[in-house]
Amino acid sequence: MDIKKKILLIEDNEVLSELLIELLSENYDVHYFNNASEALLNLDDIHPDLIISDVMMPGIDGFMFIEKIKSMIQYINIPIIFLTGLTDDFNKIRGLKAGALHFIRKPFNNEELLLIVANSLNYISKQSNNKKLLNKPVSYTDFGIAVSNIIENEYANKSLNISIIAEKLSVSVNTLDRKFKLTTGYTICKYIHNYRLNKSLSLLKEGKHSIEEIALMSGFGSISYFSRSFKMQFSCSPTSYINKILIEK
């Protein structure tokens, strides 16, 4: 039996979300959230194959959400479909430039949406298979992997910066910054920051360490800086997130 592809669905309209879940659940494993903040907090647990998101939402809107997704190298190639009531070309172009694969206006045709979802997943699958045949990584180049491996091993060092990574790779700072940005669309500094935040999120979920310990373990220089950064990324403080986990248990 084939394992269903995972779809992350973000929609704040309760009636529409129920219709979408019913429409998609026959062929896909649908994980639903009514806001982007919750979706980001659960991203690592789900590892979706495709994301369908509303654009106009309270808190983190669709444009902010896609920016955060595209700043995470492990999720940079996930196809994202915007499903929105926005009808103007300006926002459509804005969404496509941000990295959305499709921009579907509400009300939508059910058959059209299902075809777009299926085609998007098939395209990514074929692209992955082609790159495997060429012995190339699916998500990013060998250079990107080398950089991410260094960050994975060194992220707890609060002094980690682009100069240290460039020295380890025996390249200039300018070359490193240029090649990594071409690979991912983001700077080394931004990627390190997001990597640390994602690590801190995993540590908070484990519930084995205090917030102070996690801030240091994740490479943040101070607890206040960690808390501000965490709230900016996930729209809730580390303390609020811990409380949320305790309530769910």
pLDDT in tens, 124-154: 766 555 444 344 443 445 677 788 889 889 9
153 Cβ contact partners less than 8 Å away, ≥ 6 residues apart: none
Confidence of residue 241 (pLDDT cuts 50, 70, 90): confident
State the total domains in the chain: 2
How far is 7 from 21, CA to CA, in rounded Å?
A: 10
% of the chain surpassing 70 pLDDT: 90
The phi and psi torsions of 159 (rounded to 5 degrees) equal -90, -5
102 with 33, same domain: the answer is: yes
Residue 1, in any domain of the structure: no
CATH number of the domain where residue 26 is located = 3.40.50.2300
Confidence of residue 99 (pLDDT cuts 50, 70, 90): confident
Q: How many CB atoms within 10 Å of residue 80? A: 25
Q: How many CB atoms within 10 Å of residue 199? A: 19
15 with 92, same domain: the answer is: yes
**Where in the sequence is the domain holding 181, given as residue range(s)?**
142-248
Which among 150, 163, 243, 235 has a CA at the least distance from the CA of 197? 235
Interval 142-193: pLDDT, tens:
677 788 889 889 999 999 999 999 998 888 999 888 888 777 777 889 889 9
| pTM of the entire predicted model | 0.66
Longest dimension (CA), the chain: 55
128 with 152, same domain: the answer is: no
